[in-house]
Amino acid sequence: GFQAGSLESFEVHGSDVGEFKKVELGHDGATPESCWLVDELAVAVPTKGVKYIFACKCWLAKDRGDGLTARVFNVLDAEAIAISQKIIYEVTVVTGDVQNAGTDTRIFMSVFGANGSTEEMLLEKNEDRFERGQEDTFNMEVDDIEPLRKLRLRIDGSGSRPDWFLDKVIMRNLTTEEVSMFTYEEWLSRTQGPKRTMTCEMPAVVDEEVMVELTTYTIQVKTSDVAAAGTDANVWLIVFGENGDTGTLVLKDSNKSNKFERKQVDTFRFADVLSLGDLSKVRVWHDNTGPAPGWHLEHIDVKDEIMDKTFRFPCDRWLSKNDDDGQIMRELPCANNDYLDLSEKTKYEISVTTGEVETKENVWIVLEGKKARSKEFVMENSSKKKRFLQGNVDQFEFSSKNLGDIAAICLGHTPKDGKKVKGEVYWHVEEIVVKEKELGNKYIFFCNALIPLSPKRDEFLTFECKKAIESFASKARSLVPVKYEIIVITGDEKGAGTDANVFITIFGSNGDSGRRQLRQRFRNLFEREQTDRFLLEMLDMGELQRVRMEHDNSGLSPGWLLDRVEITNTANGVTTMFLCGKWLDTKKADGQIVRVLYPKY
């Protein structure tokens, strides 16, 4: 390790050291050959959601520079980047006690929660895991998406024993101690068992309650009535909803012998799948094969048989490399989510948690929204209905004009009858949760403060929103098509350009874009020190959180030095920059051809 130009990664687990102050890096080499030029040191703390990058560019050597073989780097000199925050779960995987149940195939896990989903994570074999009748327990860092809804496991069929009999998976949140159980009791295999599948989904069972129920999806696909609308290409679909997504569905077995012909409706049934609840969008694409692969899609209808509800996804556009904007993948928002009328007035529900010091007096609150500021709302105490008792949670409701997202609150503590205050009197507020009733968005304020009793209205404390939880309905309504300008800048070193095909996946607060190829006709892309521009239409991603850049290692010289990526939402003009400065090359650095980049603010 630590060869010239190399990039090394290590994972270390230990007790929480609290707030980072300094990092020491050194080596024990005493000989002249052990001189080491450190270019950069990056320390990521996933449980805190932060990554520190130290631009070292210094020698650690007895006979170079200042002769030191160890250095201390101060966090104040580092660049801090927000990365996705993780929670530590204890994961127990139980392999069945049947003949040949054990496996050495590669196992991938995705978790779906009410507040998002994880990417696929590899479950490490570690030599002896996943053997017959065994319980394997290990810790995993998982995105903060609780409460958990379902789990998806996929095997890739590699290894000398590609089949696996999975009994169950148990996940325990080490912070809250909540346990979610996922039971399968069947083979994951191409050849064994009744299902002959390499992917399975299991609903979370928490305190004996099943979080998601089984349903049948009937999917109707209407091809448009325009010239050459039909396609012979292979078509795939992913449906997204409250409980995650369906995974990739192959639109293969239609009620029609020749699928996706002009003006035709094709029907596909998918039985025994976990219901997604209300739906938000679908992602549909084809592989551009066949004599005339261009396809003009009118709409897609998805019926959830258990809910007895049909969701419509209008398209009325080409999925064609030669028509419209040249894209063969489209994301379609659900038309059912348009009808919600956000009137001028809305109701706000306020939950107040009192701490150590209670009060018999009144409390007042003002909500500071991004659109407007509310009037003062008095939360009244009375001898009949005592509020603000130690450790209690009290709820109040009031109507107001729609304020937009709640950014802050003002809290005051005032005598019931306006009388003067003798001495210093306080009320201890622990937490305030504001819920907007129409869409169900929640705004959480961790106050933990003493509010002084005062008849004056200009004596109050202000708290900023520490955590906002956007409801599914709100997210679904914000899914409108947006054109994103993507600028990719290749580095300036020998051999920096690539001939490989390059792909991007964008992740935002509204989900991900799917893997998109960055292509242009008649242009040599991604050459040394070159800037390439692309325009991709996607459903509004919300706040951009990260991008994944990758290539397929094809062509004569596939290695690529990516300098940076800049993405502009052309609807609101906001540009987000993602710095890379690293090789995507199987023969250089750490040999990776995939890089995950976080925004630089």
Average pLDDT over residues 579-586: 96
In the predicted structure, residue 343 carries a pLDDT above the cut 80: no
Rounded Cα gap, residues 527 and 513, in angstroms: 25
H or E, element range at 182:
strand 179-188
Q: Say which range, 163-177, 237-251, 392-406, has the weakest mean pLDDT.
A: 392-406
Rounded Cα gap, residues 215 and 274, in angstroms: 6
Average pLDDT over residues 198-211: 97
Rounded Cα gap, residues 242 and 274, in angstroms: 11
H or E, element range at 427:
strand 426-436
- Estimate to the nearest angstrom the gap between the alpha carbon of 151 and the chain centroid: 15
In the predicted structure, residue 138 carries a pLDDT above the cut 60: yes
Average pLDDT over residues 123-130: 93
pLDDT tens-digit series, residues 37-64: 999 999 999 888 889 999 999 999 888 8
Query: For the domain bounded by 479-600, which CATH number is listed?
Result: 2.60.60.20
The confidence score (pLDDT) of residue 215 equals 98
DSSP secondary structure letter of residue 476: H
Domain locations along the chain: 22-82, 86-210, 214-334, 345-471, 479-600
Q: How confident is the model at residue 342 (pLDDT cuts 50, 70, 90)?
A: low
**CB of 443 within 8 A of CB of 433?**
yes
3-state DSSP helix/strand/coil % of the chain, to nearest 5: 5, 50, 45
Asked if the 345-471 domain carries CATH number 2.60.410.10, the reply is: no
**CB of 201 within 8 A of CB of 152?**
yes
DSSP letter string over 261-299?
Answer: -TT-EEEEEEEEEE--SSEEEEEEEE---SSS--EEEEE
pLDDT tens-digit series, residues 526-546: 999 999 999 999 999 999 999
Q: How confident is the model at residue 264 (pLDDT cuts 50, 70, 90)?
A: very high
214-334 CATH pick, 2.40.30.160, 3.50.50.60, 2.60.40.1760, 2.60.60.20: 2.60.60.20
Q: How confident is the model at residue 398 (pLDDT cuts 50, 70, 90)?
A: very high
Measured CA to CA in angstroms, residue 340 lies from 293, 343, 473 at distances of 37, 9, 9
In the predicted structure, residue 341 carries a pLDDT above the cut 70: no
What tokens does 578 get?
Answer: 């993602």
At 477, give phi and psi (nearest 5°): -70, -25
At 325, give phi and psi (nearest 5°): -100, 10
Could you tell me which residues are beta bridge partners of residue 281? 240, 333
The confidence score (pLDDT) of residue 477 equals 83
What 3-state class would DSSP assign to 336? helix
Query: Bigger pLDDT: 143 or 32?
Result: 143
The confidence score (pLDDT) of residue 336 equals 78
Rounded Cα gap, residues 472 and 478, in angstroms: 10
Only one residue has tokens 């204890």, namely 90
Rounded Cα gap, residues 111 and 162, in angstroms: 23
Indicate the residue type of 398: F
The confidence score (pLDDT) of residue 571 equals 95
In the predicted structure, residue 278 carries a pLDDT above the cut 60: yes
The confidence score (pLDDT) of residue 337 equals 64
Q: Work out the end-to-end distance of the chain between its first and last CA atoms, rounded to an integer number of angstroms.
A: 33
How does the average pLDDT of the chain come out, rounded? 93
Measured CA to CA in angstroms, residue 15 lies from 12, 43, 130, 199, 338 at distances of 10, 16, 28, 36, 49
DSSP letter string over 497-552?
Answer: ---S-EEEEEEETTEE---EE---TT---S-TT-EEEEEEEEE---SEEEEEEEE-
Residue 209, burial from CB neighbour count under 10 angstroms (0-12, 13-18, 19+): exposed
| Angle in degrees, CA 26, 32, 36, rounded to 5 | 40
Measured CA to CA in angstroms, residue 391 lies from 279, 322, 424, 429 at distances of 38, 65, 21, 10
Average pLDDT over residues 379-392: 90
What 3-state class would DSSP assign to 330? strand
The strand pair at 531-539 and 511-512 is best described as unpaired
Identical fold for domains 86-210 and 345-471, yes or no, is: yes
Measured CA to CA in angstroms, residue 138 lies from 123, 125, 147 at distances of 10, 11, 21
Q: Find, among 533, 531, 527, 530, the residue nearest to 495 by Cα.
A: 527
**CB of 307 within 8 A of CB of 443?**
no
The confidence score (pLDDT) of residue 249 equals 97
pLDDT tens-digit series, residues 146-173: 899 999 999 999 999 999 999 999 999 9
H or E, element range at 60:
strand 50-60
Average pLDDT over residues 18-47: 87
Could you tell me which residues are beta bridge partners of residue 299? 222, 314
pLDDT tens-digit series, residues 289-331: 999 999 999 999 999 999 999 999 999 999 999 999 999 999 9
At 321, give phi and psi (nearest 5°): -70, -20
What 3-state class would DSSP assign to 107? strand
What tokens does 16 get?
Answer: 């929480």
In the predicted structure, residue 234 carries a pLDDT above the cut 70: yes
Indicate the residue type of 260: F
Measured CA to CA in angstroms, residue 121 lies from 8, 85, 107, 424 at distances of 20, 15, 8, 55
What 3-state class would DSSP assign to 374? coil
Tell me the pTM. 0.82
What tokens does 160 get?
Answer: 């000398």
Rounded Cα gap, residues 48 and 509, in angstroms: 18
Rounded Cα gap, residues 87 and 143, in angstroms: 6
| Angle in degrees, CA 370, 373, 378, rounded to 5 | 135
Indicate the residue type of 257: S
Q: Find, among 288, 299, 301, 228, the residue nearest to 262 by Cα.
A: 228
In the predicted structure, residue 338 carries a pLDDT above the cut 80: no
pLDDT tens-digit series, residues 351-383: 999 999 999 999 999 999 998 999 999 999 988
**CB of 225 within 8 A of CB of 218?**
no
What architecture (CATH level 2) is domain 86-210? Sandwich (2.60)
